[in-house]
Amino acid sequence: DQQVKQNSPSLSVQEGRISILNCDYTNSMFDYFLWYKKYPAEGPTFLISISSIKDKNEDGRFTVFLNKSAKHLSLHIVPSQPGDSAVYFCAASWGGGADGLTFGKGTHLIIQP
Amino acid sequence: DAGVIQSPRHEVTEMGQEVTLRCKPISGHNSLFWYRQTMMRGLELLIYFNNNVPIDDSGMPEDRFSAKMPNASFSTLKIQPSEPRDSAVYFCASSGTGNGNTIYFGEGSWLTVV
């Protein structure tokens, strides 16, 4: 059973608009959430994270929102740029993350000119 | 600083052959993870080590898979014998004390078993 779910395999957004990627989780023990970005033929790279004690974290064009009651988080990218086209993985951990991260299957974001 | 280094980047092998994937974690990191990426299952954690000790290998699919970490700067993932369904991208990742939630990935080893 998948503990971290990304229900949209792909998402197409026009350049300059807002991209919203969604993620749901089932394990209430998770206390830290991360987004990774992956280009073809490269490894995933860390993008942004949020602790369960917060509901929002912002870093430049990227903002992650966490709704603990709904067990839902989202990544907002605004404005979207062509270089944002990639696969985005949602990940979660608990207890300091020493046990590794549990990943969703990813959402392929395509930014159209 | 050098990131996580994996080798080989690409491997094509025949069914039944032994495959060994190698990883050098980021210097100073004390946790090392092996992940596998497939279309069907996404990124799966196979095994992880803390301070060179295997902690959880419940993600290893079968006895054909084994992993070792003889020292803090080197780990191997071995598949023997390999099968076509093992074809995937295998990622090694590491993390350090204090930022244990953020792990850093290598560029992956693309394995094709024919």
Q: pLDDT digits over A77-93, tens only?
A: 999 999 999 999 999 99
Alpha-helix residue ranges (DSSP H) falling in chain A: none
Q: Does A100 touch chain B (CB under 8 A)?
A: yes
**Nearest beta carbon to residue A105 from set B42, B102, B104:** B42
Helix (H, G, I), strand (E, B) or coil at A95: coil
Q: pLDDT band at A98, cuts 50/70/90?
A: low
Distance (Å, whole) CA A43 – CA B6: 10
CB contact under 8 A, A98 and B42: no
> Could you tell me the CA-to-CA distances from B54 to A64, B46, B77 in Å, in that order?
33, 11, 12
Q: Which residue in chain B has the smallest CA separation from A32?
A: B101
CB contact under 8 A, A106 and B43: yes
List, in order, residues 6 or more apart from A79 with CB less than 8 Å away.
A15, A16, A17, A18, A61
Q: What are the pLDDT digits (tens) for A6-42?
A: 999 999 999 999 999 999 999 999 999 999 999 998 9
Residues of B in contact with A93 (CB under 8 A): 101
Residue B30 confidence (pLDDT) above 70? yes
Suggest the residue from B43, B46, B105 to mutate for an interface test with chain A (most A CBs closer than 10 A). B43
Record the tokens describing residue B61, joined without a space.
């699919």
Distance (Å, whole) CA A75 – CA A35: 8
> Could you tell me the CA-to-CA distances from A97 to A80, B61, B86, B97 in Å, in that order?
30, 22, 27, 10
Asked whether B35 and B45 are in contact (CB, 8 A), the reply is yes
Q: Which residue in chain B has the smallest CA separation from A94?
A: B101
Residues facing residue A72 across a β-bridge:
A24, A67
Residue B99 confidence (pLDDT) above 60? no
Residue with tokens 């295998």: B90
Q: What are phi and psi of A10, to 5 degrees?
A: -150, 160
Distance (Å, whole) CA A88 – CA A19: 11
Asked whether B94 and B26 are in contact (CB, 8 A), the reply is yes
Q: pLDDT band at A49, cuts 50/70/90?
A: very high
Q: What is the mean pLDDT of residues B11-21?
A: 97
Closest CA to A101 of B43, B57, B3: B43
What amino acid occupies position A112? Q
CA angle A70/A74/A76 to nearest 5° reads 150
CB contact under 8 A, B101 and A96: yes
Mark A72-90 as b/e (b = at least 16 C-beta within 10 Å): ebbbbbeebeeebbbbbbb
